[in-house]
Amino acid sequence: MTQSLPAELDTGWPPPPFHAPVPPVVAANGVRRFDGVTYATRPGYRPRLLDVQVPAAEAALPAVVWIHGGGWLEGDRRYPPPTVPVELLHGTVLAAGLALVCIDYRHSLEAPFPAQLHDVKAAIRYVRRFADTFGIDPDRIAVWGESAGGHLAALAGLTGPHSPDAAALEGAEGVAEGETSVRAVVDWYGVSDLAAAREHPMPPMPPGAGFPDPYDALLGGTEEERPALARAASPVTYAVAGAALPPFLLIHGTRDGLVPYGQSEVLDAALRKAGGESTLRPVEGADHIFLGAPDVTPLVTASVEFLARHLRA
C-alpha cells in the first residue's frame, strides 16, 4: 500500500516549508551524520540548513544546538570562530555523549530581526519533529552560541509561549508548530542589551570592507527609529521573575572590544535577580572570540560539561 506524503511535504507547488532528513552517513567510529538538511524554506530566501551528528548509542541522546556568530551579517554553521578548532568543538560535544546540531539562519541583510530568532526556533521544532529519525531525545535540547549566535541562544532560552508578543517571536518557519523550550543555554560573548551596546563605539572597519552597522542591519533601522524592536531583540527584556528561565553559562573576555564584557554582566545580574541560575565566567584579558586567551580548550570543556550536566539532570 502506498502511503502519501504529509501535506507540508507534498512535492507540488509552492515548495514545501521543510524537507525530511537526508539518510545519514555513518563514520568508522559509529557517529551518524545528517549533513545539509533543509529545516526551513521560504520563496526568495536561501534554504536554511542544519547538520546533525549523533554518536553511536542504544538510546536517544540529548542534543546541543550550535549557533554561529558573525554580527548577524555573515557566518556558516560549519565553522566556529577561528580561535576554536572545529575538531575541538565538535569532538568535545560528541565525546560527552551528546548529539550536535549546527544550524544556519538568515543574515540581517536578508531579513531583519526577528527572522534570525524565527529560524533558531524553527530548527528546534524541526529537531523535535524528527527526533526519532535522528536518535535525539526531544525533551533534552540545549543551545550554545557565540557572539551573534550567543545573543540568539540567549533569546531562544528566554522566550516562549509565556513571553509578551510570543507569536511574533516564535514565528512559523519550517515546522510551524511545536515546543521550542530548551534545558540550558551557553552564551559566549553575546549582546544582551542592544541599546546599551550601541553606546560602545564599534572598532574601525578596514577600507572597502563593506560592512554596515550590525545593529542597524539587525533592526532594519536605527535603535532610535525602532526602540520597541531593539527592546524585543534584547535578551535582558525577558530575564524577569516568573518567566521560565533555563540555567545559563556566560563566558566573555574582559577586554572584548566588540561586545563589552559588561553585556554579560548585565544579563547575569538580570537572571539572578529574576531567580534564575546563571554562571558568569570571565576570560581575563581576552578580546572578542577569545583572542589573547592562552588556551580555549578549558572554555570548550567547561561549556560542554555544563550542558551535559543539565541535559542529563
Tell me which residues are annotated as active site. Answer: 147, 256, 288
Looking at residue 20, the DSSP 8-state letter turns out to be P
**Radius of gyration (Cα) for the chain, nearest Å?**
19
The set of cell numbers assigned to 55 is 554518536
Q: How many helices (H) and strands (E) does the chain have?
A: 10, 9
Q: Are strands 48-54 and 136-146 parallel, antiparallel or unpaired?
A: unpaired
Torsion over CA: 214, 220, 226, 232 (sign): negative
Distance CA 22, CA 51 (A): 10
Contacts of the segment 5-9: beta carbons below 8 A, 24+ positions apart: 8/175, 8/176
Contacts of the segment 56-60: beta carbons below 8 A, 24+ positions apart: 56/29, 56/30, 56/31, 56/32, 57/97, 57/135, 59/137, 60/131, 60/132, 60/135, 60/136, 60/137, 60/138
Distance CA 77, CA 83 (A): 15
* CA distance between the termini of the chain: 43
Classified as helix, coil or strand, 142 is strand
